[in-house]
A and B are shown apart, each in its own frame.
Chain A
Amino acid sequence: DVKVTQSSRYLVKRTGEKVFLECVQDMDHENMFWYRQDPGLGLRLIYFSYDVKMKEKGDIPEGYSVSREKKERFSLILESASTNQTSMYLCASSLRVRMRYNEQFFGPGTRLTVL
């Protein structure tokens, strides 16, 4: 079974703090994704990585950065947390097949609250 783990289930941070969210997958997937999920807005893609050290901006990258130094690990960084970044953050991974995506496997999510 594919396993995607996220470093924390719940996190509370203060405005202006630097926040690291880590995601690890154990199935050698090329693609990894970071989403945020908010009521009424659904899942929105923050960043996507299709290989080590490769990243692409998603729909809402502002205020976030990412790091992928190893294939199994994809980190999301909030450089200076703000209250509007309070959200549920979901990491996912998938195989990359013929330049297309595939079903995604999700971690349990991190509920981040920024005070």
Chain B
Amino acid sequence: SQELEQSPQSLIVQEGKNLTINCTSSKTLYGLYWYKQKYGEGLIFLMMLQKGGEEKSHEKITAKLDEKKQQSSLHITASQPSHAGIYLCGADVTTSGTYKYIFGTGTRLKVLA
């Protein structure tokens, strides 16, 4: 099973609607990162969260980290077609005392104009 589970796998929303993407780790998190990928291109770093309860915003995108649940949520307010793409979470985790960087499988977002 995936060490970093993202949900949902895909999402289609009408422009202007709000949406949330979740990322849950089965390992202890030391840092949680959100990336966006436009189709067929590389990943663009959005935000990094390191402390429990931390919340960061970038334009209309807000991310929170719930350390107890080992989970992060990415919330987009008033979605626009420019928000379309694949959102991936990445995480610094430890496995048997060794640090490792892992990625979720991504959430494919489509925004209908």
Contact = CB atoms under 8 A, between A and B. Distances in A.
A100 B91 CA distance: 11
Interface string B78-109: 00000000001010100000010101111000
Contact of B99 (A41, A99, A103, A104): A99
A104 B90 CA distance: 9
Contacts of B92: 100-101
B43 A100 contact: no
B103 to A, nearest CB: 4
Interface residues of A, number: 22
A45 B102 CA distance: 8
A108 B42 contact: yes
Contacts of B99: 99-101
B contact residues, range: 20 to 34
Given A100-B99, A101-B99, A41 B105 contact: yes
A103 B45 contact: yes
Contact of A103 (B33, B103, B104): B33
Contacts, number: 49
B85 to A, nearest CB: 13
Contacts of A104: 33, 43, 45, 90, 101
Interface in A58-115: 88, 90, 92, 99-109, 111
Contacts of B2: 42
A111 B39 CA distance: 12
Nearest to B33: A103
A42 B106 contact: yes
Contact of A107 (B33, B42, B90, B105): B42
Given A100-B92, A101-B31, A103-B48, A43 B42 contact: no
Interface of A: 4, 33, 40-43, 45, 88, 90, 92, 99-109, 111
Given A42-B106, A106-B44, 8 more contacts: A42-B88, A43-B88, A100-B92, A101-B31, A104-B33, A104-B45, A104-B101, A109-B42
